[in-house]
Structure formats: C-alpha cells, structure tokens
Structure 1
C-alpha cells in the first residue's frame, strides 16, 4: 500500500506531470524568447556584436556540456532534489538577466541559466520514467514532448508581445512566477526517486565528469562558432589562429581527444566495478542505442524551421516580432493536439510506430513548405504546413524519448535521460551549425549575386549590400524604403527565401534519415518497459534490494 505520502503522490501524479512539463516549458520558452528579444537588448544596453553572440551561445554551451554530469548526480542524490535546485538557480539567474545593466552581467546571468537548465531537463525525464509505466508512460512522454514543440513556437509569440507591450526585461522576468509554480508542484505532487543504495556507495567519477564537460563543451562550441570563426581557414572574426588555422578545428580536436578519453575511462571504471558518469552497458540495449542515434539525427532536422522562419517572416514578409510569433502558432497548435492524439494511438500502435508516423508528418510538412515558399507567400500557405509539421513534432519527440528509455532500468534512468538529452543537444547544435550556414551563406551570396552588376557600376552601394549579411537580413526593410537601394532589398528577399528553402530541404533529408534509422528499433512490450536487457535480449535480473528510494506507481 505504501505510506500516505506515497499514496498521495500516486493519486496526484498527473498534477506532478503538469509541474514537470511546466519546468521543461520554462527553459524552452526562455531560449526562444531571448532570440526575439536580442534587438531590443542591443538598443537598450548598447552591447557589442561579440556580446550578442555570447548572450545566446553561453547558455547552449553550458547546457549541453553539463547534461551528462547532472543526470548522473541526480541518480545518486535524488532527481527531484536536483530539479528543484536547478529551478531555483534558473529563476535566480533570470532575475539577474532581467535587472542586468550591462552586457557582462547579462552574459553571466545566461551562463547561470544554462547551469540551471542542464539540471532541469534530464531530471524531468528521469522523474517521468520513475513515476509512470506502461501506456501511462507513453502519455506522459507525449505531454512532455508536445510541451517542447509547442513552447518552441509559443516562445516567439509571447516574447514579441512582451517586448512590444512591456520590455525585453520581462522576457526574463516572466520566469519568476512560472518557476514558483514549478517548485510548488514538485514539492506537492512529485515523489523523490534515486538509484539503489549500492550505487550510492560508489564514489562519484569526478574525472569522467570533467572529461565529458570538456568534450561536449568543446564540440558544441566548435559547432556554434564554425560559421563565425571559419571551419578551417580563419575569418576576420576569429580571435586568434594556430598554424594558420581557425580555432575551430583545434577545438574539435580537443573535443575528439576528450570524448575518446572519456569513453576509455568509463570502460575501465566499469570493468573495475567503480562508479561512472555513463554506464556504457546501456548501449547494449538495442532500443537505447538505436534510439539515441535516431534522436541525434532527428534533432538535427527539427531545428530547420525554428531557425530560419522567424527571420523570414520578419525580414521578408515584414511581420513584427509578435506577428511572426502568431504565424508560428499553428506549429504549437499541432504539437499540443498531438499530445491528445497519443492516448488513442498508443492503444493501437507501439511507441516506435507513433514515432514513425510523426517523422513522416514532419517530412511532409517541411518538404512541401521548402518546395512552395516564395518571397510573396503569406501565412495562408505556411499555417497548414506548420500545423502538419507540429503534429509530427508532438508525436515523434516524446514517443522517441519513451522508446529510448523503455528498457532502461529505472535506477539508471538519470543516466539514460541525460544521455538522450545530450544526443538531442548535440544534434541540435549540429543542425543549427549546418542549417544556419546554409541559410546565411545563401542570403549573403544570393544578395551579392543579385546586385553584382549594380555594385560594379556604383561601388558606393557595397556597404548597403554587406549590411544585409551583417544584420542577418535586419536591414532589408530600411533598404526597401529608399528607392536607391530598393533593388538590394528585393535581391535580399529572394536570397533569404532561397536560404529558408535550402535549410528546409536539408532538414527534411535529415528527418528521412532519422525515419530510416528508426526502422532498426523494434517495439518493446509494455510489460518489459523499465527492464534492462542483456546481450541475448533477455530481461536482466531486477536490481538488488534497496531499489529506488521512492517510486510510486511502479509495481514491485
């Protein structure tokens, strides 16, 4: 029967799901709002272009680098405890950002937000894995995934409204009341869970933690800065060169060496029976190994639209930040609707089938949009396609998480959750790097090619042409207002549309590959969920006595 407190957690577990999902919504919403708020931040604080980059990138860098470490620590000391700490840090950092009077303080606040976010995301998945099972787990992951997809679209809408009607500071300040609700929900409705007492007796692998932080941090840094500093030869923005090379290849070398050392160290410690950051035996679980590969590829593709469409709406169609958010709202609507459809689909199909349905819808939506998008397109074209794409995101994102963790023993769910989150973040960073390069390179080259004859005849026009690339298309409207430079704006609109289309096609191709890799994943019977498999595919023995600390809703 359990204690009265445990019974209460079981009874109100769906309220707990709401609190956990709201925690995820906070970090996703914040990331998307910030991208909309940057122009207002620049105008208010007068920060440099380098500081602008770091306001956006320091968060992603720390977030991705720390996921594995916090997932492992959460397994040991308690997942709810770490999530609560992460929310407190995130809310405090948001207050620092909202009150920042300089670029340096804003960057520091964003760094602390990345720290808090890296504690929140893996623990949300581990808590869902511990508190739900069977079909209920599929529904819980669907709500979690739809929250991510929906908030990615709602964030720009909310950010645009706050900026136009209040201040960019409220883009951070809104996290305070939302964070308070998350903390209350976690304390009231979510049970603590952690690994067995046997696992907690082992010393934390500090060396492995440092290697994983260095390796993933360097990898994400290289992916982010490749376009700015040069993938091989240095650009003008490169802060330094080594042997006539950009810093980026050297950073990738550091990442490769660190991650190789990390894997070798984890293998050695596992064989010696010592504590590890990542239990490599998890990759003997086929659904986990193939699911993480699929998640990395899918995350690469899913950021194709979110990266380029807000810029296209504002700079090509002339929408305000709020109008651009409204134009993305069908994506959120489709994602949220998908969470309601999962319950019915899960009664008929296994999670991996739902993933494939979702990926197919994503490919359909983004490929047709890439095919039809034009400089004079309207929301009447984009809305239905974004809705279809959103349906796919809602179905695929959460159910893929469910597939990845289905056979991971609950006592190792923090490691499993953090691993799949790291795979997603790496895929997202790679997608942003590749798709961003394709989008902005097409914008730059297309604008220059379309105006080459005019610039050759009148070299004084060259700075106006270059301003399009330097501002990521932000000067298009100003150029259009001047009859002498209106032709540059027309060329830039064509080039940005072509860039958005190319990014869409690349994203669609990645999603097709993700769909193909998902064919290697076999459906997992509901009764086998949460049970690890050995090399022969048979369930492992249950964990030793002592089990998890408190896992309501799970059968003994």
Structure 2
C-alpha cells in the first residue's frame, strides 16, 4: 500500500525532467546573487576596486532583476513561456562568460549586473508560470513549488560555500565559467523536457510605458538607499522621485484599465489580501537572505581577513539549516497552515540573528557564529515555500503571468534592498574605527526587517493545511 502511494505521488518522467530544469534555473539565479559575496576581496584586488565597487555590482544585478521581472512576466504571454525561458538562459550564460573575462569593474557590471540580470528577469517568470500550468492540483503544485523554492534557498545560502571553494581552488573567474556550464545543461534539458501548454499571442499588446515607469521607480528607490552613505540630500531626492514615479505608474495603469486597454499589471493583483501580505513576507525573507549573506561575508573578509573558502565554510551551517527545514517542508505543510509555517520561520530566523550576535560578540573565535547561522538557515528554509504558495495560489491561470512576474520582482527587490541597506551600513564602518559596531547595526537592520515580515504573516488568513 505504501509503495502504491509512493508511485502515485511521483510525477511522470517528463514532468520530473521539467521540474529538474526549473529547479536548476532557480538555483543558478539565486547562486549568482550570493556567491559574489565571498569573492569581494579577490575581485577588489584583481580589478583594482574596493568593497563599495563590488557591492555596487551585486546590488545592480539584483536591481535589474527586480526592475525587469514584471515586464519579463508579461512578455511570456506575448512570446511564449518556453521561448522566454531559453532566451533568458542564453543571455545569462553570455553574461557569465563576459564576467569571467572582465578586465575591469565596468565590464564586470555589464556581464554580471546587466546581462545576467536581464537574463534572470526573462527566465524566472516562465519557471513559475509553467510550474503552475504543468502541475495540476493543489498538492502536486505545492510539491513542485516546494522543490523550486528549496533549490532557490539552497542556491542563495550555498552560494558563498560553492563560490568560495571554486574561487579558492581556481579563481573567482572560474565561478562564472561554472555558472555558464550549468546554464548550458539547463538549456539542453529545457529544449527536450519543457512543453508550453498555452500558445503565444504575438498580437497581444505590451504596455511599454508601464514597463518603463515600473522599472524606473524601483531603480530610483534602491539607488536612493545606496546614496545614504554619500549624500543624505541625494538619498531623499532619489527616494522621493522613486515614490512619485511608482505613483505615476499606478495612475497610468488605472487609466489604461478604465479605457479598456491591457496594462502591464492588473490592479486586481493588489485587491487580494492574502497575496498582498504574502508579497510582503517574500520581500522581507529575501532581504534577510541577502542581507545576512552580504554582511557576514564582508565582515569575515574585510574585518577578520578570511579568504573565500574560509568564508564559504562558515556558511555551511546556513546551508545545512535550509536543507533540513526544506526537507521537512512538505510534511509540515500537510499538518500546519501556511500562515503558521511562515510565522514560525520568521521567529526562528530572528532568534538565529540574536544568537549570532550574542555568541559572535562574546568570543574571539569566528566559529561561535556557526550556531546562529544554522538557526537562521532553519528559519529561512521553512518559510520560503509557504510564502510562494500563498501568493501563486491566490489567482487563477489567467493572471499567472502577471502574478509570477510581480512575485519574483518583489522577492528580488527584497534581495537588492538587503544588499543595498545592510551594505551601506557596513561599508560605512568596516574601514572606520568601529567595524564591529557597523556589523552589529547591519544585522540589527536585518532582524528589524524580519519583524515587519512577522507582522505581515500574522494577518494572513487562518486557512487549514490541504491534504
């Protein structure tokens, strides 16, 4: 009987291959966002730049993803999900190869921040849309999203470990070559295994003005955060400009809908309470992922003098925590409401940060940071999948393209905000007289974001787990 249930629970061979391609795609994009953190010293030395320069490249990569993810999701309806997936993978791979040969920071920004960022914005929405379309039923879809989200979380927290090992054994350039190699595997697998059940509609209108406004607004807000350390007046001006542009965007969307034209993003997406709260939890989760990774990596390398492999080794604890909690995500989802799992994840992650700061400051040994990082991994791994399920399951198939783009945009905006906010705090102090205090304040900011996410999760609907 158990074997029969096990066979019934398994996906058909074709769907399993498609799911492997989707999970690997999410993994490599998350990996690209975090593996740079352990190579800060090596890249700074090789390209004659500093911590701020590498932080800029990382933040711009995350920002390009966030700014273009909504238009990327909409383009899937026009050109087709599989077409956008393959094109995105090819752009990502080309960017990785350009980055591996970069002789200077500007070339690295072109390859890594621009090419890989645009590629990710094109390929990630199809991953989530095709998963929704190909995996039928709440249970099957939850399992598929669980695998993809878990690989995304593992890619984010294992990025420092894997990237550190490659950088130490070969060079930081080899880490980009490895990204290109993985992308090639995904392209070959996707061409054979991935089928798009819905035809593309080339006649469907695309809201170019909305795409420009949404991207410009998000870019201005993150640039405003980056400018905090340099000029507070510039910071306020950029933040205000970003808020005005985003307001203009929503006014334009409303006007376009009232005139009967299709907007970039339907306002219906913002009328769903569960989805809105779920988006807030997604944003703060990825802010915590990237913020923790950047702060701890920078502290270990700049303050403690660790090399890439040593820094990556410390993050093994976080990777282990994410893997353990991800493996238990599906059984827990059958017994506990998603709201409960998300709240528990935030509580555990904040407790992990408190443990990290307490033990890390009480001893001169860097290994006292390991327990806190492990607990952080447990919390993050346990809540990434439920948040995705809350958002994606709030809408029907007709809005999957838009909600997937919005969901991924919000998540990547969280990552870029995590790198920008904590990086700005840390960069201001690592070269000063009290780098430890800057580290403390940066991690406190991450914990503060966790509290915001916890409050949002508290107000999620009290739905029961599905069988």
Displacement of 1:189? 2.5
Q: How far apart in 1 are the matches of 2:437 and 2:50?
A: 29
- Is 2:82 aligned against 1:80? yes
Q: CA deviation at 1:405?
A: 1.1
- How much has 1:325 moved relative to structure 2? 0.5
Matched, 1:124 2:127: yes
Q: 1:174 to 1:423 in 2, by over 3 A?
A: same
Residue 71 of structure 2: aligned partner: 69
Cα deviation 1:156-180 (Å, max 9, x = unaligned): 2222222222122112111121001
User: Any unmatched runs of 5+ in structure 1?
Assistant: 1-8, 233-245, 445-467, 470-491, 530-556
User: Which stretch of the first structure deviates more once superposed, 83-92 or 26-35?
Assistant: 26-35
Q: Does 1:336 align with 2:323?
A: yes
Q: CA RMSD in A?
A: 2.7
**Which of 149, 174, 188 in structure 2 is aligned with 1:170?**
174
What is the alpha-carbon distance in structure 2 between the residues aligned to residue 168 and residue 396 of structure 1? 31
Q: Which runs of 5+ in 2 are unaligned?
A: 1-10
Aligned to 2:452: 513
Q: Distance in 2 between matches of 1:436 and 1:38?
A: 12
The count of residues paired between Structure 1 and Structure 2 equals: 456
Query: How far apart, in 1, do the equivalents of 2:321 and 2:149 lie?
Result: 12
Mapped contact 2:217–2:245 kept (Cα < 8 A):
yes
How far has the Cα of 1:101 moved from its partner? 3.1
Counterpart in the other structure of 2:340: 353
Question: 8, 20, 28: which one pairs with 2:22?
Answer: 20
**Contact preservation (8 Å) 1:370, 1:502:** no
Closer/same/farther in 2, CA of residues 317 and 107 from structure 1, 3 Å limit: closer
CA distance in 2 between counterparts of 1:81 and 1:525 reads 38
Relative to structure 1, is the Cα distance of residues 97 and 303 closer, same or farther in structure 2, using a 3 angstrom cutoff?
closer
1:410 to 397, 407, 425: 397
Counterpart of 1:209 in structure 2 is 211
Q: Aligned in 2, Cα 1:282/1:49: closer, same or farther, shift over 3 Å? A: closer
Do residues 134 (structure 1) and 141 (structure 2) align? no
After superposition, residues 68-467 of structure 1 pair within 5 angstroms as 68-110=70-112, 111-132=114-135, 133-194=137-198, 201-227=203-229, 229-232=230-233, 246=234, 248-374=235-361, 376-378=363-365, 380-441=367-428, 443=429
Shift of 1:341: 0.4
Partner residue of 2:438?
499
Aligned equivalents of 1:177, 1:411: Cα separation in 2:
35
CA apart distance, 1:118 = 1.4
Q: CA deviation at 1:72?
A: 0.8
Aligned mates of 1:434, 1:357 — CA distance in 2: 25
Superimposed CA distance per residue, residues 454-506 of structure 1 (whole angstroms, 9 cap, x where no aligned partner): xxxxxxxxxxxxxx24xxxxxxxxxxxxxxxxxxxxxx5xx333333333333
- Structure 1's consecutive aligned runs of 4 or more residues displaced over 6 angstroms after TM superposition are none
SS at match of 1:169: helix
Q: 1:522 aligns with which of 455, 458, 461?
A: 461
Matches of 2:197 and 2:72 in 1, distance apart? 15
Q: Which has the higher helix share?
A: 2
Shift, 1:10, TM fit: 4.9
| Structure 1 residue 399 displacement after superposition | 1.4
- Shift in Å at residue 332 of structure 1? 0.9
Q: 8 Å contact 1:30–1:155 — kept in the other structure?
A: yes
Deviation at 1:525, TM superposition (A): 6.8
8 A contact 1:358–1:392 mirrored in 2: yes
Whole-Å separation in 1 of the counterparts to 2:296 and 2:19: 31
Could you give the per-residue CA deviations for residues 169-195 of structure 1, whole angstroms, max 9, x where no partner exists?
Answer: 112111121001111222232221448
Is the 1:79–1:414 Cα contact (8 Å) retained in structure 2? no
Deviation at 1:406, TM superposition (A): 1.1
Determine whether 1:59 maps to 2:61.
yes
For the pair shown, the structure with the greater C-alpha radius of gyration is 1
Task: Specify whether residues 149 and 173 from structure 1 end up closer, same or farther in structure 2 by C-alpha distance, changes over 3 A only.
Answer: same
1:4 paired residue number: none
Q: 1:414-465: per-residue Cα shift (whole Å, max 9, x none)?
A: 2101112222233333333433344344x36xxxxxxxxxxxxxxxxxxxxx
Secondary structure, aligned partner of 2:195: coil
Change (3 A) 1:89 1:150: same
**Cα distance, 1:291 vs structure 2:** 1.3
- Cα deviation digits, residues 54-107 of structure 1 (max 9, x gap): 533432332221111111111332222211110101101111111233443322
SS of 1:411 mapped into structure 2: helix
Equivalent-residue separation in structure 1 for 2:175 and 2:141 (angstroms): 32
